[in-house]
Amino acid sequence: MSVATKLGSPVCEPRSILAPSGNRVKVSEHLKRKNEGLKKPQKPTKPVSHQMPESVVRNNVSVDSSCSSDSSSSGYVAKTVSMKRTVRRNGLRPVKVVPDGAEVATVSPKVSGPPKRCDWITPNSDPLYTSFHDEEWGVPVYDDRKLFELLVFSQALAELSWPAILNKRDIFRKLFDNFDPSSVAQFTEKKLLSLKVNGVLLLSESKLRAIIENAKQMLKVQQEFGSFSNYCWSFVNHKPLRNGYRYARKVPVKSPKAEVISKDLMQRGFRCVGPTVIYSFMQVAGIVNDHLVACFRYQDCNLNDKKVSKPKFEEKTEVLTEAVEKTSLSKA
């Protein structure tokens, strides 16, 4: 038992630990406490739960009455509310709020590149040649003047390239009277020698003579078949041929069908119409579709396919043939 107890003196309350300077309170600590007492209490920030319906908070979280007045506990309640259980009002979905300063990942739209073309068309190709590939090459042609023009261009490929021919296309049309076979067939020797560009013949003299001769023979074909178009398309049953090559190296320079047409034309008096020339003519006139399968024009040209109506004289011939056959059978 302590001495104080023995003497019956009252028990003193425990004192705080003394500072090195004695029982006096430090001035800095006194001022600090005084300042803290003068500061106004800050209002607690509103918890996130104020954005949610009150019914959601009550249904999903049981709040203890003892801690309902505590701002920290209310903040905790707001954080524990699951977004998946929020009730959607008016059918609206909850929107994800991105805090200020946060980086938002944006998805850049897909930029479509240039369409896939045949391998012989490159980014460095002449724009005129590219347009010719995209709009004309391989499209079925049924007009006689247009076919005559393409036949002349196919013959000119022995001396000029496609880009060079296309750049002189207007000159070709002017000198050959817009490729009217009846007009070209009447060209004289003087007219032939005047087919010049800057003092130079448009093509070699032998090629020019062949073009004039072919115009004369085309008039005969028109009389026999009704049109040069009917004659050309009859070799493929009036339907374009589709090869469907995947690689440019697979595309031939001639074909058995081109050899058949070439032979028939030569027998009719056409000149400079070898199998290679005729196959180029078949390609550009759409008689054969030699666009590569990966080229966007392959399917486009297939959509342009159409049957050529039979000329009237062919229909009359078929009717007469059937009548003769029936007569012969009845007599037998």
Tens digit of each residue's pLDDT, the chain (332 residues): 444 444 444 444 554 444 444 444 455 555 556 555 555 555 555 554 445 555 444 444 444 444 444 444 444 444 444 444 444 555 555 555 555 555 544 444 454 667 888 888 899 999 999 999 999 998 999 999 999 999 999 999 999 999 999 999 999 999 999 999 999 999 999 999 999 988 899 999 999 999 999 999 999 999 999 999 999 999 999 999 988 889 988 999 999 999 999 999 999 999 999 999 999 999 999 999 988 989 988 887 877 665 434 444 444 444 444 554 454 444 44
- Is the pTM higher than 0.85? no
Identify the pLDDT of residue 213.
Answer: 97
pLDDT of residue 303: 75
* Amino acid at site 259: E
pLDDT for the residue 276: 97
Tell me whether residue 133 is annotated as binding.
yes
- Output 196-201 pairs: Cβ under 8 A, ≥24 positions apart: 197/168, 197/171
Angle subtended by helix axes 275-284 and 144-156, to nearest 10: 130
User: Residue 321 belongs to what H/E stretch?
Assistant: helix 312-331
For residue 46, what pLDDT is reported?
52
Q: Establish whether 118 is an annotated binding residue.
A: yes
Could you say which DSSP state residue 145 is in? H
Give the pLDDT confidence score for residue 267 in this predicted structure.
Answer: 97
Instruction: Look up the CATH number of domain 127-305.
Output: 1.10.340.30
Residues 6+ apart with CB under 8 A from 326: none
Specify the pLDDT at position 40: 53
Q: At what angle do helices 144-156 and 205-225 cross, to 10 degrees?
A: 150
219, with CB counted inside 10 A (0-12, 13-18, 19+), is middle
Question: What integer pLDDT is reported at residue 301 of this predicted model?
Answer: 81
